[in-house]
Structure 1
């Protein structure tokens, strides 16, 4: 983990954004470890809060995340069929901490979503715990922290941030 550069991590995060924008969700899912978690806490909880005691918009383990991907790829996912057009922008990538087996990374994001003539903007920061698995960087944890005061404008999170 000590040999991985910020540039390599940025390339990895840019690849993740491209996969999401191209709706290549099964490939995106492969970026995650088998014990991965994906969290989107509500906007009024502490960044490090636990979904066990707080409201989260999304609190998925790897199995639930795979079910979410399967559902979003089906025509019966009415909120996302036809698929929204999205653009995930990633910036301010920083290595927060290096451990023996993982790297903690922070980044800022803006995600634009357009559907049915309406464009929504989601913005905030991502916190990642990344590991190297079989020579490839993979996500052990992704936590999307929304900076808006709520989802009143968007009303929902039907895309993957």
Structure 2
């Protein structure tokens, strides 16, 4: 397979595919969207530029930890997510910057994730930043950073699903 050029619509379709995999709890296929050297970050609320070396992040995963997280959430022993939450993810205002480094496509978008579980509806809002790369397997995520635009995790209380 040869590497083909990436179009704006191809990037948008990729993001929608990522959201669909998460909503369908196809977490192993979702983890496969990341490169081997990938990172997935959710910094503390109100500190989007925090350093993982000096701040406690909600998520600071390498590709292998991401895989472990996906496998763990799919088990019945993951009581907080068994049965699984029902989620709907939406990406809005997708901005693509492919000017700075031709090998990395930088994407930023607003997101809304609605979750219902145990007769409760939670809504998570924020901005997601992606560094995407084109590989022979297709577009892959090299880095994903999720900035939550919430005052606190209340009434949510916890993040037990993948944003």
Same fold (TM over 0.5): yes
Q: How does 1:90-101 map to 2 (within 5 A)?
A: 90-98=91-99, 99-101=101-103
Between the aligned partners of 1:19 and 1:3, the Cα distance in structure 2 is 24
Note the aligned Cα RMSD (angstroms): 1.5
Between the aligned partners of 2:111 and 2:11, the Cα distance in structure 1 is 15
The residue that corresponds to 1:48 in the other structure is: 49
Q: Which runs of no fewer than 5 residues in structure 2 stay unpaired?
A: none
Cα shift at 1:91: 1.1
| SS, match of residue 69 in structure 1 | helix
Q: How does 1:11-26 map to 2 (within 5 A)?
A: 11-26=13-28
Between the aligned partners of 1:112 and 1:132, the Cα distance in structure 2 is 30
Q: Which runs of no fewer than 5 residues in structure 1 stay unpaired?
A: none
Q: Is the 8 A contact 2:42 2:145 kept in 1?
A: yes
Cα shift at 1:149: 1.1
Between the aligned partners of 1:9 and 1:80, the Cα distance in structure 2 is 30
TM-score normalised over the length of structure 2: 0.93
Q: Deviations over 1:68-115 (max 9, x none)?
A: 001000000000000000001111111134312111100110000100
In the TM superposition, structure 1's runs of 4+ consecutive aligned residues that sit over 6 Å from their partners are none
Kindly indicate whether residue 89 of structure 2 is the aligned counterpart of residue 88 of structure 1: yes
Between the aligned partners of 2:146 and 2:56, the Cα distance in structure 1 is 14
Q: Is the 8 A contact 2:6 2:134 kept in 1?
A: no
Of 21, 35, 38, 2:37 maps to 35
Classify 1:135/1:78 alpha carbon distance in 2 versus 1 (closer, same or farther; 3 Å).
closer
Kindly indicate whether residue 71 of structure 2 is the aligned counterpart of residue 70 of structure 1: yes
Cα shift at 1:2: 10
The residue that corresponds to 2:112 in the other structure is: 110
Kindly indicate whether residue 156 of structure 2 is the aligned counterpart of residue 154 of structure 1: yes
Between the aligned partners of 2:6 and 2:126, the Cα distance in structure 1 is 25
